[in-house]
Amino acid sequence: MIRTIDDGLSYLVKVNDASVLDEYLNSAVDLARQYASSIALCGILVTRHAHDTYTVSVSEAVPFGETHERHDP
């Protein structure tokens, strides 16, 4: 499941089956990248909260054109 948290800026990715994780994350990154490209100031931050829960966000902390990953402690 990909759910919009903040239109164009942030998406929640939650999976019940690990086989779809990459597909869902890639889709969410593509959605966020579309917005980031329109403003050309931010990159994409993918945060892992649990083995089945991630957020994908447009972030000013990430340079434009880059995607960074982090683990939420």
Structural domain count of the chain: 1
39-68: average pLDDT:
94
Q: What is the pTM of this model?
A: 0.90
Q: CA-CA distances (angstroms) from residue 33 to 11, 18, 50, 58, 61?
A: 12, 23, 23, 7, 15
- How does pLDDT run across 34-51, given as a tens digit for each residue? 989 888 889 999 999 999
Cα dihedral 22/24/29/30 (nearest 10): 110
Structural domain span for residue 20 = 2-71
Q: Residue 13 has what pLDDT?
A: 96
- Can you tell me the distance from the alpha carbon of 35 to that of 52, in angstroms, rounded to the nearest whole number? 25
Kindly state the average pLDDT of the residues 65-69. 95
